[in-house]
Structure 1
Amino acid sequence: MKLDLITSKENSLFKEIRLLQATGSRGQKARLACGQALLEGIHLIQTWVGNPALKTLFTSELGLQNPEIAQAVYDHVEICPETRVYQLEKSLWDLLSDLVNAPHIAGLLDLPNTALAPQQSIATLSGDVIILDRIQDAGNVGSILRTAAAAGFTQVIALSGCAHLWSSKVLRAGMGAHKLLDLYEGWSNQQVLSAITAPLLAATANGELDVFNMSKALIHPVAWVMGSEGQGVSEDLMTQAKGVSIPIDPRVESLNVSTAAAICLFETVRVRRS
């Protein structure tokens, strides 16, 4: 296996992967421009081992001394021999990752077409859907994606204003869920209302429906709408949706949006199993 060395932070490829880590619109613009996202950590790399979309790997001499990392690298290269593997100087990993004692393994993943050309040629989305309405915390977004995959909800739409689904922080929080999901982002409220065929159910504190008393509604495909941490679900969507509340102790003001999503999705699963 051939290793290309990167020894300087001025290396053009190293600068590129640092830019892919940027937060906000700067990072999103960079990821869309090059059509790639950065996978960090052994778990994410293992998730995509053998997938040709993972075309570039980064490790170090120290990383290859880790049996788990070495195995993942060799397994992937054996299946995808065109993969480029770069060995970084140890000092560069402190610049590459903000994680303490981060494992020396990362990779560049080609983004799917749905990420590069959002909402193009999609007339309708049938079946269950999750709609993320301007949820800005990357940890919350990644956690919801992980829950969606665990609950068997494979279609997720992130409206404009959400954290970028392919950002480093969302990928880490998603723990590999991205590979199991059909992800769409950058949609407007109107595009959602035009494309979704299932009835909209909006999780909201003052919803007229109780999530634990909706057996008839949850048997059929639904589109769960999860609103932003501060503002909730937008008015445009609320006018077309049924509000659904989660009963909580009145001394507690609200639930974290990722917790609320987990309750709604797994209540849907429970209803259908029973």
Structure 2
Amino acid sequence: MKHIASRDNPNFKALKKLSQSGRERRKRGRAVLDGMHLIESYILHFGQPEEVVVSESGSLRSEISRYLTSGRSGNVVSILSDALFDELAMVETPSGILAIVLQPCPAHGPDQGIDTVLLDGIQDPGNLGSILRSAAAAGFRQILLSAECAQAWSPKTLRSAMGAHFQLDIHESCDLVGFLAGYRGQVVLTALNGAVDLYSLALKEPLAWVFGSEGQGVRPEVAATAQLQVRIPMPGATESLNVAAAAAVCLFETVRQRR
């Protein structure tokens, strides 16, 4: 294990830049995992992380200590003073452990013949992560994000998705219109004024669900590719649902129908 106590340490400077800069993470093709849950989820699917970073106090916590002595932490483990670790942490109450991992990439390009979730301009990382979590739980593996979406591999999105990333094929900065133009299945999007009630649909395979940005919804050019625009019945007085909640309703209605 390497002990780092100085801000001038080159490894610490590199870690800080990686934890704070989305551009740096994209350039290096790396993601920063915060907390044991995300790290364990990554190990389950991809094996050991490239590097593990723990705080001095974190290394004394039973869960982290067991992990460090389990042989699953890899060969590069750095222990930072709590003050230095706090500079890397991305939450108010640091977890005490981070891992640097190679950002998983799909083995091939998007498949236009399988169930897919398309996200058009989802800008809130919390919403994005929640949708990814619902998609994984509902069995939708292929995810396409427009260029206007929040970063799929940002620390906030990762925390919100709770490990769902590692069960999904996530394609970022996609041409949604081009993909849908050649899609060999049913294309459905949600809209407040959608002509069709969600619960009257027959959701057949393959199916592409399209969800739009929190403020503007789906762009007109994307909406034009959909065969169906649906509304979620809301007998209460609420004007609309959060996009993550709407996505969960639609995805699990798909599950219900196909059981």
TM-score (normalised: structure 1): 0.87
**Number of residue pairs matched?**
257
Cα distance in 2 for partners of 1:191, 1:4 equals 49
Match of 1:60 in 2: 55
Match of 1:151 in 2: 138
Following TM superposition, by how much is the alpha carbon of 1:86 offset from its aligned partner in structure 2, in angstroms? 0.5
Q: Which runs of 5+ in 1 are unaligned?
A: none
- Kindly indicate whether residue 8 of structure 2 is the aligned counterpart of residue 33 of structure 1: no
- Kindly indicate whether residue 249 of structure 2 is the aligned counterpart of residue 263 of structure 1: yes
Following TM superposition, by how much is the alpha carbon of 1:28 offset from its aligned partner in structure 2, in angstroms? 3.0
Match of 1:235 in 2: 220
Superposition pairs for residues 194-233 of structure 1, below 5 Å? 194=181, 196-214=183-201, 216=202, 218-233=203-218
Is the 1:200–1:222 Cα contact (8 Å) retained in structure 2? yes
- Kindly indicate whether residue 2 of structure 2 is the aligned counterpart of residue 7 of structure 1: no
Select the residue among 77, 83, 90 that pairs with 1:85. 77
Cα distance in 2 for partners of 1:53, 1:178 equals 16
Cα distance in 2 for partners of 1:90, 1:122 equals 42
Q: Please list the CA deviations of residues 88-147 of structure 1 after superposition, one character each: whole Å capped at 9, or x if unmatched.
A: 111112212242332210000101234xx9xxx636332110001010000000000111
User: SS in structure 1 opposite 2:22?
Assistant: helix
Greater shift in the superposed pair: 248-257 or 144-153: 248-257
Match of 1:108 in 2: 100
Following TM superposition, by how much is the alpha carbon of 1:79 offset from its aligned partner in structure 2, in angstroms? 4.4
Following TM superposition, by how much is the alpha carbon of 1:194 offset from its aligned partner in structure 2, in angstroms? 4.5
Cα distance in 2 for partners of 1:36, 1:260 equals 31
Cα distance in 2 for partners of 1:246, 1:200 equals 16
Q: Please list the CA deviations of residues 26-72 of structure 1 after superposition, one character each: whole Å capped at 9, or x if unmatched.
A: x3321121110100112111212363461100012311211111222
Closer, same or farther in 2 for the Cα pair 1:210/1:187, shift >3 Å?
A: same
Select the residue among 125, 130, 133 that pairs with 2:120. 133
Cα distance in 2 for partners of 1:36, 1:74 equals 24
Match of 1:95 in 2: 87
Identity %: 38
Following TM superposition, by how much is the alpha carbon of 1:260 offset from its aligned partner in structure 2, in angstroms? 0.2
Greater shift in the superposed pair: 254-263 or 12-21: 12-21
User: SS in structure 2 opposite 1:113?
Assistant: coil
Q: Which AA in structure 2 matches 1:17?
A: L
User: SS in structure 2 opposite 1:264?
Assistant: helix
Q: Please list the CA deviations of residues 241-271 of structure 1 after superposition, one character each: whole Å capped at 9, or x if unmatched.
A: 1101101146322110000000000000000
Q: Which AA in structure 2 matches 1:38?
A: V
Q: Which AA in structure 2 matches 1:86?
A: S
- Aligned alpha-carbon RMSD (Å): 2.0
Is the 2:144–2:176 Cα contact (8 Å) retained in structure 1? no
Q: Which AA in structure 2 matches 1:57?
A: V
Is the 2:32–2:101 Cα contact (8 Å) retained in structure 1? yes
Superposition pairs for residues 156-167 of structure 1, below 5 Å? 156-167=143-154
Match of 1:49 in 2: 43
Is the 1:142–1:171 Cα contact (8 Å) retained in structure 2? yes
Cα distance in 2 for partners of 1:268, 1:210 equals 14
Q: Please list the CA deviations of residues 134-163 of structure 1 after superposition, one character each: whole Å capped at 9, or x if unmatched.
A: 100000000001111111111111111100
TM-score (normalised: structure 2): 0.92
Cα distance in 2 for partners of 1:48, 1:159 equals 25
Closer, same or farther in 2 for the Cα pair 1:123/1:250, shift >3 Å?
A: closer
User: SS in structure 2 opposite 1:49?
Assistant: helix
Cα distance in 2 for partners of 1:145, 1:93 equals 28
Cα distance in 2 for partners of 1:229, 1:107 equals 31
Q: Which runs of 5+ in 2 are unaligned?
A: none
